[in-house]
Structure 1
Amino acid sequence: MSDIVTQAVTALNEKLAGADFGGTAKFDIADEGCIMMDSDGARAADETADVTLSADADTFRSILEGDTNPTSAFMTGKLSVDGDMGMAMQLAAALS
């Protein structure tokens, strides 16, 4: 597991604490690994999810740090979404 994934799991668990997030989502970080998120929080894993969000490490880091809006990243092609768009929007709101 890469350092980026390890740091991201910690950051995501802090951001998702207390958030009303139902379902499953996966962040697929190019050349780094995957992070699963569900009602129990975030963990390093690569499993089937309701929605998969894919981005490079720089884009993902920028989203986590609040420098990049996930919707803007999607609209500019830096973030791709495969699956339940409503779930993706719910996750974006939880991360803001």
Structure 2
Amino acid sequence: MSDVITGAVSVLNEKLDGGFSAGTAKFVIEGEGAVMIDGDGARAADEDADVTMTADLETFQSMMDGDIDPTAAFMQGKLSIDGDMGMAMQLGSALA
């Protein structure tokens, strides 16, 4: 597992504080790997999910640092979403 994915799991678990109860989501960080998010929290894995969000490393880090809102990243074409858009919006709100 890459250091980037390990760090992403740690940051997401802090932000979600106990998990994400709306379903399963996956963050794909291009060139690094994937992080699954569900009711148990975040973990390094690449499984089927209700929604998959894909971004490059710079965009992902900017979202985690609060420098860019996930909705803004999507609107700017920096974040792609495949699947349940409503769930992606709930997750974006949880990460803000």
Equivalent positions of 1:7-86 (< 5 A) are: 7-18=7-18, 21-86=21-86
Superimposed CA distance per residue, residues 3-55 of structure 1 (whole angstroms, 9 cap, x where no aligned partner): 11100100000000146532000000000000000010000000000000000
Q: Percent identity over the alignment?
A: 65
Structure 1 gap ranges (5+): none
Offset of 1:2 from its aligned partner?
A: 1.0
The answer as to whether partners of 1:28 and 1:53 remain within 8 angstroms in 2 is yes
Q: TM-score, normalised by structure 2?
A: 0.96
Q: TM-score, normalised by structure 1?
A: 0.96
Name the SS of the counterpart of 1:80 in structure 2.
strand
The answer as to whether partners of 2:19 and 2:37 remain within 8 angstroms in 1 is no
Name the SS of the counterpart of 1:21 in structure 2.
coil
| Residue type at the aligned position of 2:66 | G
Equivalent-residue separation in structure 2 for 1:54 and 1:90 (angstroms) = 16
Instruction: List structure 1 runs of 4+ shifted beyond 6 angstroms.
Output: none
